[in-house]
Chains A and B, each alone.
Chain A
Amino acid sequence: MKKIITLCIFGWFFLFATMTFVYAQSDIEKIVIHYYRYDKTYDGYNIWLWEKEPANLGGKQFDFNNTDVDEYGAWIEINLSENYPNTTKFGIIIKKGAWDGYREPGGDRFFKVSDMEIKDKKVHAYFVEQDLNIGLSSDDLANNIPDYSPRILSSFFSKDKKINAKMTEKITKYEVFEDNIIVQSGTNSTDSLLLTPSFAVNLSKLYTIKVTFSNDSVVSKAISIHNLYDTVEFEDAYTYTDKLGAIYSKSQTIFRIWAPISDEITLNLYEQGHPNYSNNGNMHEEKLPYKTYSMNRISDGAWEVIVPGDLANKYYTFSVTNYGTTNEVTDPYSYSTGVNGLRSMVVDFSATNPDGWNYSSRPDTIKNLTDYIVYELHVRDLTSHETWNGNEEYRGKFLGFTETGTTYTNRENVTVTTGIDHIAELGVNAVQLLPIFDFGYIDEAEMATNPNYANTFNWGYMPYHFNTLEGSYSINPFDGASRINEFKQLVNALHEKDIRVIMDVVYNHTGESESSNFNKILPGYYHRLTSDGGYSNGSGTGNETASERSMVRNFMLDSIKFLATEYNLSGFRFDLMALHDVETMNQIESMLHEIDPTIVIYGEPWDAGDAAIDSTIAADKDNLSKANVGAFNDVTRDAIKGSVFTANEGAWLQGLNPANYVEGVKYGIVGGVDHSEVSVNKWHLDPNKTINYVSAHDNNTLYDKLRLTGVPTSYIEKYQIQANAIVLTSQGIPFLHAGVDFMRSKPKEDGSGYDENSYESSDKVNQLRWDRKAEYNNVFEYYKTLIAIRKNYAQFRMNNADDIINSIKFINTNNSNIIAYEINNPSLPSVIVIHSGKVKSAAVINLPSGKSYRQLTDYENASLISPNIITGVAVATPNTSIILIENSDVNASVKESTVKIKKNESFNPLNNIDYDATKQTVYTSSFYNTSVAGSYQISAVVVDTNGNTLLLEYKLIVEGSKHYKINLKGEITV
């Protein structure tokens, strides 16, 4: 009875608590956002507000104005039931104008509804210009949160060493200090200062300015020397070239950090990688370091301490004191970290190597850079969908790549390979992984411990530790060594299938600006700043790094060298490469090609707008001729299927004013070289530098773009094939977005269209769906053959501009919808490619007389072993790409139609084939077993150096005590 009463009481209490909670939630009708600016002007400013939790949804913009203003600045009142009915946590960005304009510091900022005070069915959030604090209650306002008091907004030396200061209101006097000794003072009655120093500025000293406001409040701020970082004086004084980071050996670890203006630095050692979790993920506190060491200033701005003993798997941070303020920071050079990147790790790399790991090992499939066929892939996408049936623990992780033998069969009994086997079957020879370094926005600890944690996906373009692997891809993110071992297993697994690994690197910005470890170590050095000391935002994500500065450049070089050598990487894709300078990119290229000349380096030759880099040095399209690295070809991308900036606008493929786009398509066909028959501005000029593509992780998938441009579903497979048939037959380096080979689509979860920017959308939007591969298996098989054709015929992979210019001749079709060309490389069989676009009737192209051609592709089929020999004319139906290879015989044959061996006798299927091993490669079937008597059908494909193929077959009889001759009875009717 007691139990029943207790249960009843508990039940009533639960019901009451639930109702109270629901009532509290429903009691809030509006949210009011207050924004205070010292200049009192609000027109043009706006907020981007979105639901962060429980679901991470898209945002909406709301505008401030100069009318709705009170003592807390401008305000916007937003109806919650209309706009955010279920939101428990908001994300907000305050900005001016569009995304390329001014933004308040702090990047994405968040606040919880449960932390907000409810007044008159409203909740309020208060913001102040240039202040990271958010006020959510009357108590916050009473405690000056955010900070409304008079402040110095900025203070810095200009390039001519004058002191500039901007205050929130007028002052009465000022004083300038050099290492706490007053060196200059005066009176003033304005809100800004421009002072010519009456002293010699010494870059090794700390300068501060103290001002007195009219209300007698006194405020101090350090005077930034960021405008002097680019002086010869600074470079000479503070360029350090020796190794930085934690340099481990069994007997000692050397810790080094470059921090030229710091007053003091302390090394903190920890046992755990997180203050609240053990390295196995159990709750266990370690708030304070078990040992600290004062570091010593050595040379050129570097600090060092040598700690004896074996520190492998210990964690560490630095406490860096600048301008009297101490910050505990992780090491920018961290080779790994604990969970969520809170503490750096000392790594013994020799203990992280999986079985079979060999340094300096890459698949021997690339002789020239134009041999690469790149497949762009996100780690989670490969294995996150339920149709992937590998080890459940490995789903979405690095280790998912190690699972072979996974397949999916749909209701129609179409069976397809999935996961890594899919990539291998497709035939690409390189995978470019979206960011795998430690990035922000995923709580790795929550993800590992809370099965209901939903924020599990991010593209990863907000870097935190460039040399550390992302913890959320590890099955144990708490132990910084696990992710290293697991990623090396991924590399090994891909290498075993002759697939190289390319890393997407994002050195162009840091995930945080003011609060980044770089900035806390040397404020303003690593980032380009605006003239008034704000962060230049050429990346569109809050800041941009300054690769032209020697120690930023050194960091990039050190980082890439480490990644290339420790993980056997074969390439690097630079995000927003135009934010880097040409000299840095060329130094990276030289360094990498000393390691291995087949390492490929390319990037996006653009930025996100308003970059502060000098345009004469930016690694963009204008300067690509001076850079020895590759760049994405957006000219051909947009010419094939339409601009990425106008979703419903098609191009050549859709037959939309094809004359406007035909030259752009031809530019890709010739690999971006200066070909006389192509009339566009040419800027790649070298096929090794031209990355041809039609779709990537950014923007709509190819399928979605085709749908948005009105391509009917009945034709879409043809368009999907032809778009990349153009890419895969073009000179240069082809690049495929993962899943484009089986019609990848990213419909939004709410059904409102396609997700063109799925950077933080769920797995459901992003994942590769193997059921879709089964549904569109014919498209996949076509892509697979196109890739095999490219690999087989060197005519599509010429690696210098002269060969391309001399070999490729366009055929006059008198129709912009039909692009046809001939590749006549004197040392190889002739090739003719016909891209028949949206034409009303089939394209008919006359073939050179006296030659016969093997037709490898047609409207429905593609085959490398095609028996279809044509002469005279070629006919191409609409939206079909036809590939013709000059026919020539392959001189090879089987020696005996039947080979007999004794049971358990050794057997080599090649021994019965008469071929020239110096000029031909033979692939044979694998189904025979010399320990099982019987008869086996041996299939062999002979491929000669010209790419011609020949299929041969013979019978193997393994003789045993009994040997069954089979009489197969019954007619095959299926």
Chain B
Amino acid sequence: MRKISFVLLLLLTSIFLISCKKESGTNVNIIEQSLEGNNYFFTLNVDGTFTDEEFIELSYSSSSELYSSLKEKINNKKYYLTITLTNNKANRLQLRFVINETIEKPGLQLLSEKTL
């Protein structure tokens, strides 16, 4: 019984720890950034193994997160934003956005998506 209890405890602890890790999120690192003209350029890296679908999901979320961090600086003006996403430091996807193009087109608008 003790053994069973111990195994159960171990199992629950593992599940809890896994859940905790999941809750802590995926680290996406800004490794390059520049503002040239009206263009923001960012290179973001994420380590790990991801399917194409997973990587796109991760890239879209990263883009929104980056935009949220930038919007104060942007101050409702129009900019272009190019994000190059690398996986284990290898180029994998590039997304290009226009931000606040007009009053009728606020926020992020995806212009192109290119697999690298």
Contacts and interface: CB of A to CB of B under 8 A. Distances in A.
Interface of A: 405, 409-410, 412-415, 425, 427, 774, 777, 781, 784, 788, 792, 863-865, 923-927, 929, 932-941, 943, 949, 951, 953, 955, 960, 962-974
B105 A964 contact: no
A924 B63 CA distance: 17
B109 A966 contact: no
Query: Chain B interface: which size bin?
Result: 35 or more
A934 B26 contact: no
A937 B30 contact: no
A342 B105 CA distance: 48
B109 to A, nearest CB: 5
14 contacts: A415-B80, A777-B38, A923-B106, A925-B109, A926-B105, A926-B110, A929-B60, A936-B64, A941-B106, A953-B71, A962-B57, A967-B28, A972-B30, A974-B33
Contacts of A951: 76, 106
Contacts of B35: 974
Contact of B64 (A415, A934, A974): A934
Contacts of A973: 33
Contact of A967 (B25, B38, B106, B111): B25
Contacts of A792: 103
A483 B37 CA distance: 40
Contact of A934 (B33, B60, B73, B77): B60
Contact of A939 (B25, B60, B108): B108
Most chain B beta-carbon neighbours within 10 Å: one of A412, A792, A936, A943: A936
Nearest to B58: A964
Given A924-B106, A966-B58, A425 B39 contact: no
Nearest to B66: A968
B28 A926 contact: no
A865 B68 CA distance: 18
Given A413-B36, A964-B25, A970-B31, A934 B58 contact: yes
Contacts of B71: 953
A943 B103 contact: yes
A792 B111 CA distance: 27
Contacts of A936: 60-61, 64
Nearest to B100: A939
Contact of A970 (B30, B38, B70, B104): B30
Contact of B39 (A414, A427, A927, A972): A414
Contact of A969 (B27, B40, B103, B105): B27
A941 to B, nearest CB: 5
Given A966-B26, A969-B30, A938 B107 contact: yes
B69 A972 contact: yes
B25 A966 contact: yes
B106 A425 contact: no
B19 to A, nearest CB: 12
Given A937-B67, A966-B25, A925 B39 contact: no
B28 A927 contact: no
Interface in B79-116: 80, 97, 101-111
Given A413-B39, A414-B37, 4 more contacts: A925-B108, A938-B107, A953-B107, A969-B29
Contacts of A962: 54, 57
Nearest to A935: B61
Given A966-B25, A967-B27, A968-B30, A784 B102 contact: yes
Contacts of A405: 111
Given A934-B57, A962-B57, A968-B28, A925 B105 contact: yes
Contact of B56 (A864, A925, A932): A932
Contacts of B58: 934, 964, 966
Ranked nearest first, the 3 interchain pairs of A and B with the lowest CB-CB distance are A939-B107, A925-B107, A970-B30
Given A865-B76, A925-B107, A409 B30 contact: no
A506 to B, nearest CB: 34
B30 A415 contact: no
Contacts of A414: 37-39
Contacts of B70: 972
A413 B103 CA distance: 23
Contacts of B44: 968
B107 A937 contact: yes
A932 B55 CA distance: 10
Contacts of B105: 923, 925-926
A781 B106 contact: no
A370 to B, nearest CB: 20
Contacts of A963: 57
A424 to B, nearest CB: 8
A865 B102 CA distance: 11
A939 B30 CA distance: 24
B62 A923 contact: no
Contacts of B64: 927, 934-937, 955
Nearest to B44: A968
A973 B67 CA distance: 14
Contacts of B34: 974
Given A413-B37, A781-B77, A951-B76, A864 B25 contact: no
A167 to B, nearest CB: 70
A410 B62 CA distance: 28
Contacts of B104: 923, 941
A968 B69 contact: yes
Contacts of A943: 103
A679 B51 CA distance: 74
A792 B35 CA distance: 31
Contact of B62 (A409, A932, A949, A968): A968
Contact of B38 (A415, A427, A969, A972): A415
B33 A932 contact: no
Contacts of A410: 37
A706 B85 CA distance: 47
Nearest to A414: B37
B40 A974 contact: yes
B36 A412 contact: yes
